[in-house]
Structure 1
Amino acid sequence: MTPAPDLIFKGQASIGSASLFAPLSLSLASGQWTCLLGGSGVGKTTVLRLIAGLDTGADFSGLIAASDGKPVAERIAYMAQNDLLLPWATVAQNVSLGARLRGEKIDRNRRDRLIARMRLTDHMNKKPAELSGGQRQRVALARTLMEDRPIVLLDEPFSALDARTRADMQDLAAEALQGRTVLLVTHDPAEAARLGQTIVVMTRHGLTHCQPPHAPAPRKVDDLETLETQ
Structure 2
Amino acid sequence: MKPRIVTNYAKVYLQKASNTNDEKWIQKAFVHAGNSLKVIPEHFVGFFHFGMIYQMLAEKFNRPTIDQAIDFYSKAIEMDPFQAQFHGNLGFLYLNKGNTDRALEEFYQAYLIRPATVTYLERLTNIYLQKGEMEKALYFAEKAVEINPAEPVYYNNLGAIFLKKGMPDKAIESFKKALELSQNGQVYLENLTNACLSAGKYEELLDCYKKLIERNPSVADYYNNVGVIYKKKTTI
Scaled to the shorter chain, the TM-score interval is: under 0.3
Structure with the greater relative contact order (CA < 8 A, sep ≥ 6): 1 or 2?
Answer: 1
More helix by share: 2
More strand by share: 1
**Structure 2 length normalisation: TM-score?**
0.27
**Structure 1 length normalisation: TM-score?**
0.27
- Larger Cα-atom Rg: 2
